[in-house]
Structure formats: C-alpha cells, structure tokens
Amino acid sequence: MNFLICLARLAQLQHETIDRLALQEAVQAAQANLSDKAEAQLNTVTEQLQLPAARWLNAPDAAKMPALLYADETDQGNEIKDHWGILRGRNAQGEWVSEWWDTKTQRWSERTDYALTNHLIATLKLRKPFVANKSALYQLIRDEIFSHKKLIR
C-alpha cells in the first residue's frame, strides 16, 4: 500500500496523469512475491506499465528530484520493515528533505537527513515515452496525405 501511495505522489509531483487502476494492478503484481527486493518491485511496476526502467542512483543528486526513496528499517520488535518515500531535494541547511506516508495518521510527514545511509534512491518517469508514429494526430495526417497522393504529385 505504501508503494502505491508513493508512486501516485511521485506522479503528482511530476505533474503526470496516471491510470490509477493500472498502477494499482502493477503494484499488486510487484508485491505478490514478498521476498522481492525494492529493485525487483520497481522493475515489475515499470514492465507492467510499459515505462522506461528506473535509474538507481549511487548518491542523491538534487538535479534529479523528486525521486523514490526506499529504506529498510528495524522496529522495536527487531522486525525489518520496508518503507517507500519521496526524496524532494535539499533545503538551505544542506539537509535532504524526504516525505514518508504515515499509515496511522493517513498523512505525509516530512523528514530531514544530512546523509541518506541505508537508503536506495531511484529516479523514475511515470509518463509513457512519446512515439510519433503511434500518435493519433500523426496517423490522421499520414492518412490524409496518402489518400491524396495524385494531387500532391
């Protein structure tokens, strides 16, 4: 659920419209195998939605924000919990600003860190790449041109 909310928030921050039902189905397929790591989950989502593959960053880069953020954290019961969040950028103090979905309050909470240790960072565009020859406008123009070949010659 956290993964779905983060992907929807990333699309919102990128000003992209997404098919939420398709996104939900892709996330469910990605999380069907609970043993999959973050990379495998994100790869499954991009494949299902026919998007370009996500790029994993070795270190945060302010020029590539917003980005997905993944953290393995241990709670009081020593159980490892996976958390998806959004990395927004750097503030004036040089801290990295991230947003995390709080399931208890059903709100986004902001957190700042000087270093993002034990985090994975991925950049992802949730827009399908534009293919000119599959465009409806291109098809219309091409059909009109080829229907009047004699006049054009």
pLDDT of residue 79: 42
Q: What is the pLDDT of residue 73?
A: 64
Print pLDDT tens along the chain (153 aa): 688 999 999 999 999 988 889 999 999 988 887 666 888 889 999 999 989 899 999 888 889 999 999 987 644 444 445 589 999 999 999 999 999 998 888 999 998 988 888 889 999 988 877 667 777 787 888 888 888 777 777
Q: State the pLDDT at residue 143.
A: 84
What the block records as the tokens of 133 is 């020859």
- pLDDT, position 78: 41
Look at residue 1 in the predicted model and tell me its pLDDT.
64
* Beta carbons of 22 and 47 less than 8 angstroms apart: no
Domain span including residue 11: 2-152
Number of H helices, E strands in the chain: 5, 6
Task: Give CA–CA dist 90/20, Å, rounded.
Answer: 29
**pLDDT value, residue 146:** 82
Q: For residues 97 and 25, what is the distance between their CA atoms, to the nearest angstrom?
A: 29
Rounded distance, CA 30 to CA 44, Å? 5
CATH number at residue 118: 3.90.70
The C-alpha atoms of residue 8 and residue 144 are separated, in whole angstroms, by 39
CB-based contacts of 128: which residues, under 8 Å, 6+ apart? 49, 50, 51
pLDDT for 95 equals: 92
- Number of domains into which the chain is organized: 1
Q: Regarding beta strands 107-113 and 55-57, do their DSSP bridges make them parallel or antiparallel, or are they unpaired?
A: unpaired
